[in-house]
């Protein structure tokens, strides 16, 4: 720490920030063709001579792959509009995890427009190490027919509710879809505002209603307070005449 550590925390070792950086590294490699990339571990050792921590991140990249083709399965097989939703993922391109996620989002919205609001779209990658390619299968499964009764936010002592709620693509009264809930949880964890975010469900007032509970833990923030004061004393002297 230095003299400015009272005002900023960028030079202070924080394990929670390291965990957030590991997620950013993972998403970077997934975006650039390394579908098998994962972080093996991280280690932080304090170096007295340098006066700080040396962070070592161990990862396994695998090999860069391409996407030869895409397909979907289960329901809505004959809807031609679904093919347009897969425009984010093209054959013979470098695998991009962000584009796969966008395709999942587009497919979920498209099948919802065609009367399947409870459908959950999940990507599955069938890898071929010999050709360094992956076949992406979008599995469409009918989820439970329940609706969101309300969304409860708990634990946000400093962050306003609307900051959390704006990361949701669904709200009270909408059809419950686990894909959107999982995406909202990832977005909230990536904001950097919270140490931890966990979204769970509780039974609603009726069997076809569910309460979405968002438990968050705000990140600690540094603060600097200055105070000053003074005092006066009165001395009485005897008067002589």
The one-digit pLDDT tens for each residue of the chain (241 residues) are 455 555 555 567 777 778 778 888 888 888 888 888 888 888 888 888 888 888 898 988 887 777 655 554 444 444 555 666 666 677 777 888 888 888 888 888 777 776 677 778 888 888 888 888 888 888 888 777 889 999 999 988 888 888 899 999 888 999 888 888 888 998 898 887 888 899 998 989 998 899 999 999 887 654 344 444 444 444 444 444 4
DSSP string of 102-143, one letter each residue: HHHHHHHHHHHHTT-TTEEEEEEEEEETTTTEEEEEEEEEE-
CA distance 14 to 194: 13
What is the enclosing helix (H) or strand (E) of 187? helix 178-190
Q: What is the CATH class of 66-142? A: alpha beta
- Cβ 195 vs Cβ 16: under 8 Å: yes
Instruction: Say if 3-60 and 147-218 have the same CATH topology.
Output: yes
- Give the start-to-end residue ranges of the domains of the chain: 3-60, 66-142, 147-218
Element containing residue 21 per DSSP (H, E) = helix 15-31
Selecting from 3.10.20.310, 3.40.50.300, 3.40.190.10, 3.40.50.970, what CATH number does the domain 147-218 have?
3.10.20.310
Cross-strand pairs, 38:
60
CATH number of 3-60: 3.10.20.310
């Amino acid at each position: 720490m230095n003299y400015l550590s009272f005002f900023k925390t960028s030079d202070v070792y924080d394990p929670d920030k390291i965990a957030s950086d590991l997620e950013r590294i993972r998403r970077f490699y997934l975006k650039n063709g390394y579908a098998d990339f994962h972080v093996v571990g991280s280690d932080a050792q304090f170096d007295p001579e340098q006066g700080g921590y040396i962070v070592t991140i161990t990862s396994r990249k695998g090999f860069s792959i391409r996407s030869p083709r895409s397909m979907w399965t289960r329901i809505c097989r004959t809807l031609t509009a679904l093919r347009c939703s897969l425009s984010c993922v093209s054959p013979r391109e470098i695998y991009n995890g962000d584009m796969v996620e966008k395709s999942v989002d587009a497919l979920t919205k498209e099948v919802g427009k065609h009367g399947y609001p409870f459908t959950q779209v999940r990507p599955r990658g069938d890898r071929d190490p010999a050709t360094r390619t992956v076949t992406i299968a979008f599995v469409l499964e009918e989820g439970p027919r329940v609706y969101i009764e309300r969304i409860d936010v708990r634990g946000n002592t400093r962050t306003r509710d609307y900051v959390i709620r704006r990361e949701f693509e669904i709200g009270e009264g909408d059809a419950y879809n686990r894909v959107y809930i999982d995406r909202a949880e990832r977005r909230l964890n990536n904001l950097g505002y919270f140490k931890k975010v966990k979204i769970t469900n509780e039974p609603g007032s009726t069997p076809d209603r569910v309460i979405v509970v968002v438990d968050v833990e705000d990140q600690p923030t540094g603060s600097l307070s200055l105070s000053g004061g003074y005092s006066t004393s009165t001395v009485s002297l005897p008067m002589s005449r």
